[in-house]
Amino acid sequence: MSPKRLLAGLLALIALGPATVAPTIAEAAPAKGGPAVLVIATPQGSHVVGRPGAANKLVEYVSYTCPHCAAFEKEGAPELMLTAIRPGRMSVEYRPFMRNIVDVAATLMVGCGAPSRFPGNHAAVLRGQETWFKPPSEDAQQRWRTGDFGTRMRAVAADMNLYPIFTARGYARAELDRCLANEQLANALSAENAKAVEELKLQGTPSFLLGGKLLPAHDWASLKPALGEITK
């Protein structure tokens, strides 16, 4: 998809101004045998995982319907956590990039609740992508165009079988539905996405920034060499 078409699609989602949200800090549950990892929810709707003062700061633009993002989560994320994030050498900011209406619903659900829940939600949706992300039927697409924002997002979540992923993680349906109704956050994220396309010339996902510079890398095989000594 060209940057111009991508930008037009993102701008179509924007109806309200950016949400104003104070940063929220929490600790993700520790992995077996490891310490807890700090997670910060930013005012822009992204999540920073790792020590905020880390010398190296990586940003990943991620789409939950992107198969390359799912592949990166399986291939690169575990090594990044083990070699760079937990030792405190690097933090990773996950910025959702919403390419379509399914991405909107998935993003709102992944970010639902305390920041400490984000890493597990993020991994569960990407690692299970092949089981829930299927071509929608004509009837489903019609439901996604009918009703207010919350109604449409609930229809997407139900038709894509996203609810079971989160209820298995301890969420109540009512909590998920409140998050799915957050149109202001969805519009704020869409505005951030449009800004990234316009200013960074972002063309696809996953895309990575290191120290604020866009890298020519879109998978673990090309990202790892760019990180050099950070992951050794």
The CATH number of residue 103's host domain is: 3.40.30.10
Q: What is the pLDDT of residues 102-160, one digit of tens each?
A: 999 999 999 999 999 999 999 999 999 999 999 999 999 999 999 999 999 999 999 99
At 229, is the pLDDT very low, low, confident or very high (cuts 50, 70, 90)? confident
**Is residue 197 within 8 Å of 204, Cβ to Cβ?**
no
Angle, helix 183-200 to helix 3-13, in steps of 10 degrees: 160
**CA-to-CA separations, 94 to 45, 107, 174, 208, in angstroms, rounded:** 9, 11, 26, 10
The three-class DSSP label of residue 172 is coil
Residues 75-92 have a mean pLDDT of 95
In this prediction, residues 170-185 reach a mean pLDDT of 98
Q: What is the mean pLDDT of residues 203-221?
A: 95
Spatial separation of the C-alpha atoms in residues 184 and 145, rounded to whole Å: 18
Q: Report the number of distinct structural domains present in the chain.
A: 1
Which pLDDT band, with edges at 50, 70 and 90, does 6 fall under?
Answer: very low
- DSSP letter string, 49-62: ES-TT-SEEEEEEE
Mean of the per-residue pLDDT values of the chain = 87
Q: What is the pTM of this model?
A: 0.86
| pLDDT of amino acid 33 | 42
Q: Which domain holds residue 170?
A: 3-231
Q: Two tokens at 9?
A: 């699609």
Cα separation, 149 vs 2, in Å, equals 27
